[in-house]
């Protein structure tokens, strides 16, 4: 593509050279990955500034650079107001604006995004629609999976992935939209057809100034809905029982469809029967009413099913297919996942890593436990410190025995993270600190008796533990399995 044509998507830019002849073979934001003829976009990050890597990009063959600060270079320099924003626009243009053709659902909220994403995948697949999914666990096109570094990838990878989905005849794309992505503009230029809100509670206060700032970040998804003027109907799917619903409804000029249990909403669940092996409820929607018998456990999963059902209804999926899919769904990788080797006690691995999710999941465990509840939990390093004491308190509120351990310490001292968790606790409470996560899991398994439940929270599907900057192989499910086998 000619650079001059590509730059048509940026309203104002300055250049120091004649760029009419330049062909662009691709766009790159990482100097280490630049190939001959690439346009290098300099992004100021949290760790380093891409403007410092212009020379490396040029050595690797960059044909031009996009900057928002002064740099010196032997290739043409194009100066814009904001390179992050430019990167998204360039990605959209380079990959030919894929989301205008690709039906796209974006899911945001503190908890439940991944679960709702996979519920929607199951529903669309049941209706014989090919899906593309982007989220925490991986990117998935049809049955092929690809690893991802972020829940919501950077703008370039995102647009490239949408293009790939279109090339592979995907009918419906479904993605998680993190608050980081919204603030950083990773999703500028995505033409969402449906934006779903799950819930809002405390997380990421290392990144967002306060909870209002966090909510404002989430609201950007709803404000962006319909900005492409494609003329199609767009929908915001909102949890009416969440205190943030009013602001989010006011953030969009598009159609709103609500779901809920407590407050009156368009899609509702009633007559809910929560069980240890599944959940039954009456689903009431504007297009009909039916009974759902789901294998998913816990009230929070009723909300996830309502969110997915509402998004499926506005996508014109017949409710009979929604019912079949919800009832077929076995669960999501690493979410309330049992580890069963025929032992006399239950072991559940879950991804709860926020106060609210831990509260929800422990409440559910407590309700069905025949005997004592053990919880093995920690908090991630280089992340929101203020959630640490809250998570410890919640663990003690429900569990008969809490074992506090490391999650992904990253660059923090694991003991200091655990001190943050436990400093405010009373000494006589029944908890223990075992820094090594493997030993903590082993301890819980060794001490469990018939009818007890062990909840291992925080890492769910993760198959590594990050200590310092190194990711070591680590899978809670495997460690638990080995411990169970060693015991019996």
Ligand X SMILES: CC(=O)N[C@H]1[C@@H](OP(=O)(O)OP(=O)(O)OC[C@H]2O[C@@H](n3ccc(=O)[nH]c3=O)[C@H](O)[C@@H]2O)O[C@H](CO)[C@@H](O)[C@@H]1O[C@H](C)C(=O)N[C@@H](C)C(=O)N[C@H](CCC(=O)O)C(=O)O
Ligand Y SMILES: N[C@H](CCC[C@H](N)C(=O)O)C(=O)O
108 in a labelled binding site: no
Site for Mg ion in 125-184 (CB under 5 A): 136, 176
Query: What gap in Å lies between CA 465 and CA 469, rounded to an integer?
Result: 10
Considering only 12, 46, 229, 472, the residue that binds ligand X (CB under 6 A) is 46
Query: What gap in Å lies between CA 137 and CA 184, rounded to an integer?
Result: 21
Considering only 3, 22, 50, 396, the residue that binds ligand X (CB under 6 A) is 50
Which residue, among 123, 95, 38, has the nearest Cα to 329 in the 3D structure? 123
Q: What is the DSSP letter of 242?
A: S
Site string for ligand ATP, 340-359 (x = CB under 6 A): ----------xxx---xx--
Which residue, among 486, 485, 465, 466, has the nearest Cα to 475 in the 3D structure? 465
Which residue, among 351, 353, 377, 347, has the nearest Cα to 365 in the 3D structure? 347
Residue 201 near ligand X by CB under 6 A: no
Q: Contact at 8 Å (CB) between 346 and 276?
A: no
Residue 360 near ligand ATP by CB under 6 A: yes
Residue 229 near ligand X by CB under 6 A: no
Residue 195 near ligand X by CB under 6 A: no
Q: Which residue is nearest to Mg ion (CB)?
A: 136
Q: Which of residues 151 and 239 has its CB atom nearest to ligand Y in the complex?
A: 151
Q: Which of residues 459 and 481 has its CB atom nearest to ligand Y in the complex?
A: 459
- Name the binder of 114 from Mg ion, ligand X, ligand Y, none, CB < 5-8 A by kind: Mg ion
Considering only 112, 132, 260, 355, the residue that binds ligand ATP (CB under 6 A) is 112
150 in a labelled binding site: yes
The CA R_g of the chain, rounded to the nearest whole Å, is 24
Positions touching ligand Y (CB under 6 A) are: 151, 353, 380, 383, 407-408, 458-459, 462
Q: Kind and range of the H or E element at 349?
A: strand 346-350
Considering only 4, 30, 227, 247, the residue that binds ligand X (CB under 6 A) is 30
Strands (E), 58-171: 64-67, 77-79, 104-108, 131-134, 139-141, 144-146
Q: Contact at 8 Å (CB) between 375 and 403?
A: yes
Q: What is the DSSP string of 408-419?
A: --BTS-HHHHHH
477 in a labelled binding site: no
Query: What gap in Å lies between CA 422 and CA 406, rounded to an integer?
Result: 13
Binding residues for ATP: 109-115
Q: Which residues bind ligand X (CB under 6 A)?
A: 29-32, 43, 45-48, 50, 53, 149-152, 154, 178, 180-181
Binding residues for meso-2,6-diaminopimelate: 383, 407-410, 458, 462
Q: Which residues bind Mg ion (CB under 5 A)?
A: 113-114, 136, 176
């Amino acid at each position: 593509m000619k650079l001059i044509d590509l730059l048509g998507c940026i309203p104002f830019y300055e250049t120091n050279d004649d760029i009419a002849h330049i062909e662009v073979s691709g766009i790159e934001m990482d100097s280490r990955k630049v190939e001959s003829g690439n346009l290098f976009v300099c992004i100021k990050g949290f760790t380093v500034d891409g403007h410092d890597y212009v020379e490396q990009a040029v050595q690797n063959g960059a044909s031009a650079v996009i900057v928002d600060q002064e740099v010196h270079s032997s290739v043409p320099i194009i100066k814009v107001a904001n390179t992050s924003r430019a990167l998204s626009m360039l990605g959209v243009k380079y990959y030919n604006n894929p989301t205008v053709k690709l039906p796209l659902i974006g899911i945001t909220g503190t908890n439940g995004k991944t679960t709702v994403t996979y519920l929607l995948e199951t529903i669309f697949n049941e209706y014989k629609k090919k899906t593309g999914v982007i989220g925490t666990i991986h990117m998935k096109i049809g049955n092929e999976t690809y690893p991802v570094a972020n829940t919501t990838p950077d703008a370039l990878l995102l647009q490239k992935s949408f293009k790939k989905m279109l090339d592979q005849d995907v009918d419906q794309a479904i993605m998680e939209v993190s608050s980081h992505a919204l603030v950083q503009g990773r999703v500028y230029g995505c033409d969402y057809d449906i934006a779903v809100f799950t819930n809002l509670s405390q997380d990421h206060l290392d990144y967002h100034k306060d909870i209002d700032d966090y909510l404002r970040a989430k609201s950007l998804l709803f404000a962006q809905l319909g900005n492409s003027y494609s003329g199609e109907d767009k929908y915001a799917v909102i949890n009416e029982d969440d205190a943030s619903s009013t602001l989010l409804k006011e953030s969009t000029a598009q159609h709103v469809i609500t779901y809920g249990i407590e407050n009156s909403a368009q899609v509702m669940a009633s007559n809910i029967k929560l069980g240890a092996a599944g959940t039954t409820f009456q689903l009431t929607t504007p297009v009909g009413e039916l009974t759902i018998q789901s294998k998913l456990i816990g009230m929070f999963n009723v909300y996830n099913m309502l969110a997915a059902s509402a998004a499926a209804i506005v996508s014109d999926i017949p409710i009979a297919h929604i019912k079949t899919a919800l009832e077929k769904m076995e669960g999501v990788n690493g979410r309330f996942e049992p580890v069963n080797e025929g032992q006399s006690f239950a072991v559940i691995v879950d991804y709860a890593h926020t106060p609210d999710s831990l509260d929800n999941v422990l409440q559910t465990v407590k309700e069905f436990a025949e005997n004592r509840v053990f919880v093995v939990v920690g908090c991630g390093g280089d992340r929101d410190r203020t959630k640490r004491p809250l998570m410890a308190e919640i663990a003690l509120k429900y569990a008969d025995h809490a074992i506090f351990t490391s999650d992904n310490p990253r660059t923090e001292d694991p003991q200091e993270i655990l001190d943050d968790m436990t400093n405010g606790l009373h000494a006589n409470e029944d908890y223990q600190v075992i820094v090594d996560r493997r030993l903590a899991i082993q301890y819980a398994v060794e001490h469990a008796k018939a009818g007890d439940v062990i909840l291992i929270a925080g890492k769910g599907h993760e198959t590594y533990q990050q200590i310092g900057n190194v990711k070591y192989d680590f899978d809670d499910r495997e460690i638990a399995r080995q411990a169970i086998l060693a015991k019996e």
